[in-house]
Amino acid sequence: MAEGLKIEIVSPERLVLSEVAQAVTVPGTEGYFTVMHDHAPFMTTLKPGFITVARDGGVAQVYFVKGGFADVSPSGLTILAEQSVPFTEFDHADLQAQIKAAEEELNRAGTPEDKSYAQEVVSALLNLAMEAQHIDGAHVH
- What is the pLDDT at residue 15? 95
Encode pLDDT of 68-121 as tens digits. Answer: 999 999 999 999 999 999 998 888 888 899 899 999 999 999 999 999 999 998
Q: Which CATH number fits domain 5-87: 2.60.15.10, 3.60.20.10, 2.60.120.1440, 1.10.10.10?
A: 2.60.15.10
Long-range interactions of 71-77: CB distance < 8 A, separation 24+: 71/43, 72/35, 72/39, 72/40, 72/41, 72/42, 72/43, 73/41, 74/41, 75/6, 76/5, 76/6, 76/7, 76/8, 77/5, 77/6, 77/7, 77/8, 77/24, 77/26, 77/35, 77/39
Residue 135's SS3 state is helix
Residue closest to 66 by CA, chosen among 52, 53, 79: 79
Encode pLDDT of 22-59 as tens digits. Answer: 999 999 999 999 999 999 999 999 999 999 999 887 78
- What is the pLDDT at residue 141? 39
pTM over 0.75: yes
Residue closest to 131 by CA, chosen among 5, 123, 67: 123
